[in-house]
Homo-oligomer: A and B are copies of this chain.
Amino acid sequence: MWTQRTLTLDPRPRGFHLITDAVRDALDLSNVAVGVLHVFIQHTSAALTINENASPAVRGDLERHFNEMVPEGQPYYEHTLEGPDDMPAHIKASMLSHTLTVPINNGTLQLGTWQGLYLCEHRTQGGPRTLVLTVHGQAPEAA
């Protein structure tokens, strides 16, 4: 059993953002007994990750620390035409991920208690971001 759809997220400010509810609301998992959700971002200056779903300070600290590890204006950057935040955005995207995959059981994403899905927006003026959501799994056995 396969289903696939796109989900376009409204523009968000630079930083790390919880998108668990937006993704969950776009899916119907009621008929998946066992399976995997695959989330793919079709961009190279924004990324996906899974991290703590409660404290906003975690999301702020992630943004601040990635800015330390991947600063703007490094003298060796040659890809600078699209602004000082562009090349760091590409590097951060590869340090994080273009995909998330989450197991499904009995119609429910098997996230841990503290896990949330994140959009990592690395551009200072990012636009809408398109995700491709693919669910594959097994339907409950007929009674």
Contacts and interface: CB of A to CB of B under 8 A. Distances in A.
Interface string A64-105: 110011100010111100000001001101111111111101
B51 A90 contact: yes
Given A68-B74, A79-B58, A42 B115 contact: yes
A98 to B, nearest CB: 5
Contacts of A118: 94
Chain A contact residues: over half helix, strand or loop, or mixed? mixed
Contact of A102 (B2, B40, B96, B101): B40
A110 B91 contact: no
A62 to B, nearest CB: 6
Nearest to A110: B132
Interface string A45-72: 0000111100101101110110011100
A35 interface: yes
Interface of A: 2-4, 33-36, 38, 40-44, 49-52, 55, 57-58, 60-62, 64-65, 68-70, 74, 76-79, 87, 90-91, 93-103, 105, 110-115, 118, 130, 132, 134, 136-138
